[in-house]
Structure 1
Amino acid sequence: MSNLHAFDVMFIAVYFIILFGIAWWAALREKNVSSDYFLASRDVAWFAVGASLFASNIGSEHLVGLAGTGAGSGLAVGHFEWLACLILMLLGWLFVPYYLKSGVYTMPEFLEKRYNSAARTYFTWVSVIGYVLTKISVTLYAGGVVIRAVTGWNFYTAAIVLIVVTGLYTIFGGLRAVVYTEVLQAIVLILGSITLMAIGLSRVGGFAGLEAKVPAGFFSMWKPSSHPDFPWTGIVFGAPILGIWYWCTDQHIVQRVLAAKKIKEARTGTIFAGYLKILPVFIFVLPGI
């Protein structure tokens, strides 16, 4: 059964109207050249770069996963979010100058220029297979679960709707549509999650009431090396390696900064995204607890 009321349906309808309106605007601005379609003519401002970096990272699997992990293990999963704040600075100050000066459209292309075509081919296949098996499949599954819970739709119907909607505005609007719809999604994510956090905390008596209801140590971010999920050794020595790969070399992320007007805009965008990455611990993990 659907859990939606008339106001909910109206709100969702308005959201999709705005979403497709952005895609239509982006399609009208398209100049039928590859730099426009893949990199939005390299004229994206810092605010859009930062918001897009944040929203492209926060998929349905991320939102559901952070809340679920928070419910099971507490705030410690937030280490990955706060670590991203620092790694985004590496992206802006160490990697971005090389990427933008090279004039590439994709990370595989950068590797080909830097090394050879074999490096490009290898990285392309690793990325595609990795995304299909980990990112895309998990995102569709988590998104389908959420839509099914909210609307009562069949799981496969929900997943197909996700694919069709995302595919339509991406195909017709290119990266410009993707970036600016992600700006909208970032705003909706943040405002909606702040509202959820406020309602949740009010129901349990604030932070003090929540702390009294959870096991000891749930609010501790620093876990012993024997911890099964978040040992400090893994956080300190392992997570940065994963973070640098994801935030500094992954095509899905780097493409946003490649679309920036210039290096200054890209760097400012990474700073803005870094500030936004402070929020998930409070607005995604905490409501799960």
Structure 2
Amino acid sequence: MNFSLGFLDTTIIVGYFAVVFLLAWWVTRQERKAKANSYGSSDYFLGGKTVGWFVIGASLFASNIGSEHLVGLAGSGARGDMAAGQFEILAALILVLLGWVFVPFYIKSGVFTMPEFLEKRYSSGARTYLSIVSILAYILTKISVTIFAGALVFEVLGVPFWVGAVLVVLATGVYTIFGGLRAVIYTDMLQMFILLLGSLSITFFALQA
């Protein structure tokens, strides 16, 4: 079943993408202006290590709540399959373990990524191997699901599935590649508020129906 978009719907969607891209552009511009002569890989990949705790927490929250949850897990729950909730319960436990045990160790080691740590501990071959496995696993188990769920939403709106999938990839890739981690973090914070507002609104109206 397809739904037609009205003027207000189109305005909100276009406005949302405009705000996301403008925020990413502004954050990147401010950071590069502040570090005109010293902008390097640490600033691009780690946001200059100057991002506050609330922004990091909001980004972590938004990064873990995507279309696969709002479309996939929520749909499973609506059908009565509450077992899907274990996905998030276990994820919460792992995040606590990551934050309290592993992150301090990574910081002390002075590494940006887990493959980089393996290179320091073992060899460059171990780093390359884990990088390839991680990328393939992420594409097959995370990115593909997110793109599929996002494309389904576009398909409901009358946009062909593959067009929707390409739009999801392009929209995410543009501000990620050009903006670096800081741009991603701040756009994630914006999306956290939108996700919360949208999810709470859907829950309220669904229970009222």
TM-score (norm 2): 0.89
Alpha-carbon distance, 1:195 to partner: 0.3
Q: 1:60 aligns with which of 40, 53, 67?
A: 67
Give the whole-Å Cα distance in 2 for the aligned partners of 1:112 and 1:122. Answer: 10
Q: Say whether residues 1:197 and 2:203 are aligned partners.
A: yes
Give the whole-Å Cα distance in 1 for the aligned partners of 2:96 and 2:67. Answer: 25
- Other-structure match for 2:185: 179
Give the whole-Å Cα distance in 2 for the aligned partners of 1:133 and 1:88. Answer: 21
Alpha-carbon distance, 1:84 to partner: 2.8
Alpha-carbon distance, 1:166 to partner: 1.0
Q: Say whether residues 1:91 and 2:91 are aligned partners.
A: no
Q: Deviations over 1:118-152 (max 9, x none)?
A: 32122111111112222222221111111121x31
Give the whole-Å Cα distance in 1 for the aligned partners of 2:150 and 2:77. Answer: 19
Runs of 4+ in 1 over 6 A off after TM superposition: none
Q: Could you list the runs of 5+ residues in structure 1 that have no partner in the other structure?
A: 204-289
Give the SS at the match of 1:152. coil
Q: Structure 1 counterpart of 2:76, which letter? A: T
Q: Which moved more, 1:80-89 or 1:122-131?
A: 80-89
- Other-structure match for 1:100: 107
Q: Say whether residues 1:188 and 2:194 are aligned partners.
A: yes
Alpha-carbon distance, 1:170 to partner: 0.9
Q: Structure 1 counterpart of 2:19, which letter? A: I
Give the whole-Å Cα distance in 2 for the aligned partners of 1:173 and 1:57. Answer: 20
Alpha-carbon distance, 1:26 to partner: 2.3
Give the whole-Å Cα distance in 1 for the aligned partners of 2:138 and 2:17. Answer: 26
Counterpart mapping for 1:1-289 below 5 A: 2-28=3-29, 29-30=31-32, 31=35, 32-149=39-156, 151-203=157-209
Q: Structure 1 counterpart of 2:12, which letter? A: F
Q: Deviations over 1:64-119 (max 9, x none)?
A: 21022213343232223223333222112111111111221222101212333232
Q: Deviations over 1:148-180 (max 9, x none)?
A: 21x311111111111111111112111111111
Residues 147, 153 of structure 1: 8 Å contact kept? yes
Q: Which moved more, 1:46-55 or 1:61-70?
A: 61-70
Give the whole-Å Cα distance in 1 for the aligned partners of 2:202 and 2:26. Answer: 31
Give the whole-Å Cα distance in 2 for the aligned partners of 1:114 and 1:55. Answer: 32
Alpha-carbon distance, 1:2 to partner: 4.5
Give the whole-Å Cα distance in 2 for the aligned partners of 1:119 and 1:44. Answer: 31
Residues 26, 174 of structure 1: 8 Å contact kept? no
Aligned CA RMSD, in angstroms, stands at: 1.6
- Which structure exhibits the higher relative contact order, with contacts defined as CA atoms closer than 8 Å and separated by 6 or more residues? 1
Q: Structure 1 counterpart of 2:47, which letter? A: A
Alpha-carbon distance, 1:62 to partner: 2.7
Q: Could you list the runs of 5+ residues in structure 2 that have no partner in the other structure?
A: none
Give the whole-Å Cα distance in 2 for the aligned partners of 1:59 and 1:167. Answer: 15
| Count of equivalent residues | 202
Give the whole-Å Cα distance in 2 for the aligned partners of 1:62 and 1:123. Answer: 27
TM-score (norm 1): 0.66
Q: Which moved more, 1:165-174 or 1:84-93?
A: 84-93
Give the SS at the match of 1:4. coil
Give the whole-Å Cα distance in 2 for the aligned partners of 1:202 and 1:129. Answer: 43
Q: Structure 2 counterpart of 1:14, which letter? A: G
